[in-house]
Structure 1
Amino acid sequence: MSLYKRKGSSIWWYELKDASGKRVQNSTGTEIKEHAQELHDRLKVQFWEQKRLGVKARRTWHEAVIRYLSEKSQKKTLETDRSHLRWLDSYLGSRHLDEINRDLIADITKARQQSYEIARKKGPPRKIDPKSSTVNRTLEIIRAILRLARDDWEWITVCPNIPMKKEPTKRVSWITREQAETLLSHLAPHQQSMMRFSLETGLRRRNVTHLEWGQIDLERRLAWIHPDQAKAEKAIGVPLSKEAVLILRQQWGQHAVWVFPYNGKPITQTATKTWRAALKAAGLPEGFRWHDLRHTWASWHAQDGTPLHVLQELGGWASAEMVQRYAHLSTQHLAHFVDRRVGLKLVGGTDVFPTVQLLAIKKG
């Protein structure tokens, strides 16, 4: 029978064969038989059109998410994607992909900007005011899945344009050598070692906290990051300075595997209460992150005259664009151009105050 009720239920269910001949059973969600029959007949026509006329089956957001997570199972930021997808579930849920339009995207964008609270084990809940970057990461997930559904899976023929929120251009956050020494003096010994090594190598947080002795050759003064550990998924060779080698020798013997262990295990969290207390004691902004030590390392290199293409290779950046944020700190190659002018000139080209006269005026 095509329509039926389950024992003890007042809801009508349907049973049909889809375009592939597979039996499909599902609830109609209604107690009214006429409405259930209408849904049944509509689905029957859709299955017939798919089989006989080649009409594509309508796919849901849930189906797309399942396939996306399966295909992206090796993605490093997959857990972050899952977090965004969980938030989106209440808005997209079982909707069909062809129902996702600009109006719905606008509603999602507006909702994502709303403040919310996160409960804490102790103390009052933490209030979160989502930034434009957070909103954009959520929208990017929607865009990525819809484009896969259109271009790769051929589930839909069109997808809506998804405008991104404008993100403010951030200044590179770095500290001076004096500030770094002050911060170090307020950290625990195990944090001091990691921070000093980070400032010597510019390695990302996890590449330091999970560094293994098998990745280090002290004789050749070299460390390396495997492709699966690197953000750009390319192996990185890390030349070690004398200071970096000294730090590693001091760590030798603390653990058979991990270079910077804490209680026998690699550190998983650096934004700790101790870190925040050290920032406050050192007079540094509370928003200064461990990752900003990498920015500090790069900034110092740029100030010391390291060419940007060399800095790119040292830092393992995939593109030169990522290194340009430090270009304003490196102006040595421009210095000799500054002194080429001999004085102020009129439109006609005559010197107004030649350099010799300016010097005489200053002395007078």
Structure 2
Amino acid sequence: MPISLRGKTWWCDFATPSGKRIRQSLGTRDETQARELYDKLKAERWRVDRLGERPSYSWDEACVRFIQEKSSKKSLEDDKAKIRYFTKFFRGRVLGSIKRDEVQDAVAKLEGRTDATKNRYLTLASTLFRLAANEWEWIDKPLSFRKKKEPSRRVRWLTKPEADRLLAELAPHMKAIVQFALATGFRHANITGLEWSQVDLVQKMCWIYGDQAKAGEAIGMPLNQTAMQVLISQLGKHPKWVFTYRGDRLRQRAREGFANALRRAGITNFRFHDLRHTWASWLVQSGVPLHVIQELGGWHSFEMVKRYAHLAPEHLRRHIEAIDAQNLNGTISSHPHRIDEENRKKKKALL
């Protein structure tokens, strides 16, 4: 069949008059709409091959297709917000007529936004034009953009005294989730959405499913004593949700209570997500290897974990001391007791 259902989305698979195979998502779950899109696509490909025509697609059509194909993307709502911004400049425009400088100028008009945020807008535009050129074949070539240099990623973590002050200011229901965050490194949404079905108190394990994890992969977390104590304190409060407030699941209101406690504790420049940074930082300072922290935290990229490496410079010492064995110019000894003996002789000569 020229169209088929894969998962919940219809796909097409056909050969053009020139023999090129076209196999792609039609971006819809409706069979009737899928057939219409397939017929339109096949007719367009015929005109391209037989008549040398390239259909003109608009910015709006590209945005619709992008959203359809990215329907399962976790950050789709953020992408939609960026698309709405760009649409103010390019609504109704033929996609191939949009120039790189026009996109750069539109991003430059973003007021009060950091260079990092502006780069995210350019990344979305770059992705859309790349798809239009390389996969959809709607334009001849993709657009590339000049991005701003970004500072190193922000890492803010609590010292132990700061953590103690914060915990002392939190209401009981908030104290529980903050303690659990510090014990596990889980994100806010993973904590407030945690169900008892994801917890095994006997095996001392907790799971975050792949569709709940930012990296899209399931996370299995062995529970330490602190996390176990928090979970045990929540038993019997709700049949489904682990963390509750007044008998119901904790939601965004948890952030308000957290912000108020931070203010009372005198802690500034700190967000709930920084509890995750605190968890990772404390582990690094305790000597836990970075690759272990990556696995525990469910980070997809090792680069995300390397930002914590500077907190444990001691792990470099044993490697840099290997140079001592080279005895450079006869002035460096590989044996500490020889250095001590030489120092004693020098001191004695001065007396």
For normalisation by structure 1, the TM-score amounts to 0.75
More deviation in 160-169 or 204-213?
160-169
Q: Residue in 2 aligned with 1:9?
A: none
Q: Residue in 1 aligned with 2:125?
A: 142
Residue deviations 1:180-217 (CA, integer Å, cap 9, x gap):
11111111111100000011111111111100000000
- Counterpart code for 2:225: K
Write the distance in 1 (CA, Å) between the matches of 2:288 and 2:319. Answer: 19
Runs in 1 of length 4+ with deviation above 4 angstroms?
Answer: 48-52, 337-342, 354-364
CA separation of 1:355 and 1:148: change in aligned 2, threshold 3 A: same
Alignment of 1:216-255 (within 5 A): 216-255=199-238
1:259 aligns with 2:242: yes
- Counterpart code for 2:139: I
Write the distance in 1 (CA, Å) between the matches of 2:226 and 2:331. Answer: 55
1:308 aligns with 2:293: no
What displacement does 1:107 show? 1.2
Residue deviations 1:46-77 (CA, integer Å, cap 9, x gap):
xx976961311110010001011111111111
Q: Residue in 2 aligned with 1:65?
A: 63
**Secondary structure of the equivalent of 1:276?**
helix
Residue deviations 1:304-361 (CA, integer Å, cap 9, x gap):
011111111111111222111111122343334566677xx9x85546xx55565776
What displacement does 1:262 show? 1.8
Task: Identify the structure with the greater helix proportion.
Answer: 2
- Counterpart code for 1:111: K
In our comparison, the structure showing a higher alpha carbon Rg is 1
Q: Residue in 1 aligned with 2:99?
A: 101
Residue deviations 1:95-147 (CA, integer Å, cap 9, x gap):
111111122022112112x2xxxxxxxxxxxxxx2111211111111111111
Write the distance in 2 (CA, Å) between the matches of 1:270 and 1:338. Answer: 49
- Matched-pair contact (CA < 8 Å) for 1:308–1:323: yes
**Secondary structure of the equivalent of 1:323?**
helix
- Matched-pair contact (CA < 8 Å) for 1:100–1:160: no
- Which 5+ residue runs of structure 1 have no aligned equivalent? 1-47, 115-128
Q: Residue in 2 aligned with 1:84?
A: 82
CA separation of 1:273 and 1:316: change in aligned 2, threshold 3 A: closer
Q: Residue in 2 aligned with 1:269?
A: 252
Q: Residue in 2 aligned with 1:121?
A: none
- Counterpart code for 2:117: T
Match among 265, 272, 275 for residue 293 of structure 1: 275
- Matched-pair contact (CA < 8 Å) for 1:225–1:237: yes
- Matched-pair contact (CA < 8 Å) for 1:199–1:296: yes
1:166 aligns with 2:149: yes
- Counterpart code for 1:254: K
Q: Residue in 2 aligned with 1:192?
A: 175
Q: Residue in 2 aligned with 1:45?
A: none
**Secondary structure of the equivalent of 2:206?**
strand
- Counterpart code for 2:302: A
Write the distance in 1 (CA, Å) between the matches of 2:228 and 2:77. Answer: 35
**Secondary structure of the equivalent of 2:299?**
coil
Q: Residue in 1 aligned with 2:198?
A: 215
Write the distance in 1 (CA, Å) between the matches of 2:137 and 2:216. Answer: 29
- Counterpart code for 2:150: E
> How many residues align structurally?
300
More deviation in 66-75 or 317-326?
317-326
Write the distance in 2 (CA, Å) between the matches of 1:165 and 1:271. Answer: 35
Identity fraction in percent: 43
CA separation of 1:78 and 1:171: change in aligned 2, threshold 3 A: closer
**Secondary structure of the equivalent of 1:227?**
coil
Match among 309, 312, 317 for residue 335 of structure 1: 317
**Secondary structure of the equivalent of 1:163?**
coil
CA separation of 1:281 and 1:310: change in aligned 2, threshold 3 A: same
**Secondary structure of the equivalent of 2:307?**
helix
Match among 300, 306, 310 for residue 318 of structure 1: 300
**Secondary structure of the equivalent of 1:143?**
helix
- Which 5+ residue runs of structure 2 have no aligned equivalent? 1-45, 333-338
- Counterpart code for 1:158: K
What displacement does 1:218 show? 0.2
CA separation of 1:108 and 1:227: change in aligned 2, threshold 3 A: same
What displacement does 1:159 show? 2.1
Match among 200, 204, 208 for residue 187 of structure 2: 204
